[in-house]
Amino acid sequence: MNGKRPNNPEHENLCGFSVSVTSNSVDRIANLAKQYWDRQSMLWQALAGLRPRDGKMSEISPLATGDHRFDAPEWHRHPWYAAVVQSYQFNTELLAGMMKEADVAPKLQQQLRFLTRQLIDASSPANFILTNPEALQLALESNGESLYAGLRNWLTDATRGQIAITDERAFEIGRNVAMSNGEVIFECELMQLVQYAPLTQKVARRPLLIVPPCVNKFYILDLQPQNSFVRFALEQGHTVFLVSWRNPQNELQQSTWDDYLERGVIQAIEVALAVSGADKVNTLGWCIGGTMLASALAVLGARGEQPAASMTLLTTLIDFTEPGELGTFVDERTVALAEQTLGKRGLLSGKALALVFQSLRANELLWPYVVGNYLKGETPEAFDLLYWNSDATNLPGPMYTWLLRHGYHRNELRVPGKLEVCGVPFDLGKANVPAYVLATERDHLVPWRSAWLTTRLLGGDTQFVLAASGHIAGVINPPAANKRSYWTGDDDRASDADDWLAHASTHPGSWWPHWSEWLRGHSGKLRAAPKQSGNAVYAPIEPAPGRYVKTRVA
């Protein structure tokens, strides 16, 4: 024996995960643990011997990582709280280091990373009354009124089953959000179709049909006049039709993916063409709405129909090779369980889905409101985007489980002929129309490199654009705000997404004008704007935004 341990993996079971640990990993983890205990020991020894000097700490300084949870001066004034924060930072670094040393498959590494981040976020000293000096000071100054208000807030949120992230009393759909003028001209059990009133005297002959995601309400595209994508399109001289998905209740719990394509997207295309009298319609889909739109056009292409002049896809997944953080726990076991419970009938709760989305960005959309609402007794500020974000939407079980298995799990939408959709062999190449494909660089739901793969699946010419920021802010970026930037490049010459970015050009500001110029080439000649919505067959039913968008999850 030479005294050296063999570098053979040993398998440990951690929280149900089989983790392979080599001797080298054991050594590195041991070093991490030693460093951790040394730092903790020095920290608390320093605290025990501290003496204030001119009201300031002399040996312990609070966390210096740009973590805004600890920006308030209360975290800096007392050595105890500074030590608590530094101890938390040591815990964070130890957990992150141990997670990196786990010798596991990439999928399991992603799961461990997600769970580790959840643990780190949840254990922040800011989240607990006894270790949050801001909350304690506020309780003292208010004679306990802040704690009493926090308890009331907690009871209210517990009753409705959802954490308040904005002051919902400040908004009303149709009054100060979803304000654009228009009328519902068609409705079925799955959706209403809104036609918006023109804002120009002349409009393009070919209208624009917008398909928003069914996991959220459509009015993210029409929040306020100053940031409304719908209004921008109207100002550019387009006749805009928009699908308003119904918030599913029990009567829709058997609806399938095919139903959403056939009776949703395809039917909306037919109505828009019939009302406008155009030869073709320009189309736009966002997120899952884009997945539906591309799928519907592929189905129509397989039937020998080409009703679209163009297709715009905003932060859309079609190739699910890297599905973002939503794919973290999607595997055969979880998909089979979902199919067992929801595959034939049932509803995926919108509130449960909203909590999943909040957990993906817990330090932005979850814990700040736990602290503000409950520990400090505050009412969240009124913010239109967060009002939309909290307006949860159910999903029919069969539709949801189909996308879960064939998209997120098996990634079969990209394989020609692998699936049958709406009665025809499915091939995305049959969506043979010019496409504008937009991704955002910090999108945690639709990684931009996965969105770039769309350019290799569609049948027509593509224009790929990468916008700064994330899934929402990168899309809702009106030109007047003069914010952010975007990149354009040569899609045909790029070997992969990184090669595309290496040769791309940067442009300051919003991508909206760039898209508008691209769309102009597919919109046809100008004609007089319609004086009224609908026609003899599709008469107006009610004013926009319609009833369906106002239905909230109970």
Given the residues 15, 188, 214, 287, the one annotated as active site: 287
The parent domain of residue 402 ranges over 182-325+397-550
Looking from the CA of 192 toward its CB, the CA atoms found within 13 Å total 27
Is 248 part of a structural domain of the chain?
Answer: yes
pTM of the model: 0.90
- The per-residue pLDDT for range 331-368, each reduced to its tens digit, is 999 999 999 999 999 999 998 888 888 888 898 889 99
Among 141, 172, 192, identify where a domain stops: 141
Q: Which residues pair with 435 in a beta bridge?
A: 311, 462
Tell me what pLDDT residue 104 has.
78
Q: Do 108 and 189 fall within a single domain? A: no
Assess contact for 270 and 431: CB atoms under 8 A: no
Of 436, 177, 400, 141, the closest CA to residue 293 belongs to: 436
Query: In this model, does residue 49 exceed pLDDT 80?
Result: no
Tell me what pLDDT residue 28 has.
81
Q: Do 131 and 206 fall within a single domain? A: no
Q: Do 136 and 228 fall within a single domain? A: no
Q: Do 402 and 457 fall within a single domain? A: yes
Q: Do 84 and 197 fall within a single domain? A: no
Q: Do 237 and 127 fall within a single domain? A: no
Question: Distance (Å, rounded) from C-alpha 453 to C-alpha 437?
Answer: 10
Q: Which residues of 524-543 are buried (b: 16+ CB within 10 A; e: fewer)?
A: beeeeebeebbeeebebbee
Query: In this model, does residue 212 exceed pLDDT 50?
Result: yes
pLDDT band at 108 (very low <50, low <70, confident <90, very high): confident
The number of distinct structural domains making up the chain is: 2
Q: Do 502 and 451 fall within a single domain? A: yes
Is 234 part of a structural domain of the chain?
Answer: yes
Is 17 part of a structural domain of the chain?
Answer: yes
Query: In the β-sheet with 240-245, what is the strand arrangement from edge to edge?
Result: 505-508, 485-488, 462-467, 435-440, 308-314, 281-286, 208-211, 240-245, 191-196, 182-187, 542-543
- The per-residue pLDDT for range 511-524, each reduced to its tens digit, is 999 999 999 999 99
Tell me what pLDDT residue 452 has.
96
CA distances in angstroms from 117 to 57, 67, 111, listed in the order given: 30, 14, 10
Task: Read off the CATH number of the domain in which 413 is found.
Answer: 3.40.50.1820
Among 141, 157, 174, identify where a domain stops: 141
Active-site residue, 214 included: no
Of 338, 342, 365, 363, the closest CA to residue 354 belongs to: 365
Tell me what pLDDT residue 394 has.
96
Is 167 part of a structural domain of the chain?
Answer: no
Q: Do 23 and 78 fall within a single domain? A: yes
Q: Is 540 helix (H, G, I), strand (E, B) or coil?
A: coil
pLDDT band at 23 (very low <50, low <70, confident <90, very high): low
Question: Distance (Å, rounded) from C-alpha 357 to C-alpha 348?
Answer: 14
Average pLDDT, the chain: 90
Q: Do 415 and 540 fall within a single domain? A: yes
Q: Do 220 and 89 fall within a single domain? A: no
Once rounded to an integer, what is the mean pLDDT over residues 376-401? 95
Of 275, 166, 179, the closest CA to residue 221 belongs to: 179
To the nearest 5 percent, what fractions of the chain are helix, strand and coil?
45, 15, 40
Is 369 part of a structural domain of the chain?
Answer: no
- Maximum pairwise Cα distance, the chain: 92
Is 157 part of a structural domain of the chain?
Answer: no
Among 82, 117, 141, identify where a domain stops: 141
Q: Do 127 and 191 fall within a single domain? A: no
Is 170 part of a structural domain of the chain?
Answer: no
- The per-residue pLDDT for range 438-464, each reduced to its tens digit, is 999 999 999 999 999 999 999 999 999
- The per-residue pLDDT for range 291-341, each reduced to its tens digit, is 999 999 999 999 999 999 999 999 999 999 999 888 888 999 999 999 999
Is 275 part of a structural domain of the chain?
Answer: yes
Q: Do 315 and 246 fall within a single domain? A: yes
- The per-residue pLDDT for range 260-272, each reduced to its tens digit, is 999 999 999 999 9
